[in-house]
Amino acid sequence: MNITSKDQFAKFIGIKIVSAGEGKATGEMTITKEHLNGAETIHGGAIFSLADTVFGAASNSREGLALAINVSISYFKAISNGKLTAVAEEISLHRKLATYIIKIFDDDSNIIALFQGTVYRKS
């Protein structure tokens, strides 16, 4: 199910899904001044939104609708410019639940955040 093509918020903040399928997805977002917080580093909400969008693309790459029921994120590095890349990997898939790890990288392939999410899979 391709629900990310209908995601108006993701489009608004500049998130682009590069690939998605079979429990995996990759997305990108170029950091602009509108993504920065008061400390002039990328806002945690912008990073979370990128990870959440890629999570949605990966979890909805299979039959049926997948809806998030639990997520968490850890931030490792503050940056102010460049492009972020988020890569989602399915680590557990069952009839009703699936879990994903999303790694967010900067331009130099440093991991700047790690997101984990679980979805409920509607039939």
- C-alpha 1/C-alpha 9 separation (Å) is 18
Average pLDDT, the chain: 95
What mean pLDDT comes out for the span 74-87? 98
What is the CATH number for 65?
3.10.129.10
Q: Write down the pLDDT at residue 42.
A: 97
Domain count, the chain: 1
> Tens of pLDDT along 30-73?
999 999 999 999 999 999 999 999 999 999 999 899 999 999 99
CA angle centred on 70, ends 31 and 1, rounded to 5° = 70
Q: Write down the pLDDT at residue 3.
A: 63
- Identify the domain containing residue 108 by its residue range: 4-122
What mean pLDDT comes out for the span 85-109? 98
Q: Write down the pLDDT at residue 107.
A: 97
Q: Write down the pLDDT at residue 6.
A: 83
Q: Is the pTM of this model over 0.85?
A: yes
Q: Write down the pLDDT at residue 2.
A: 58
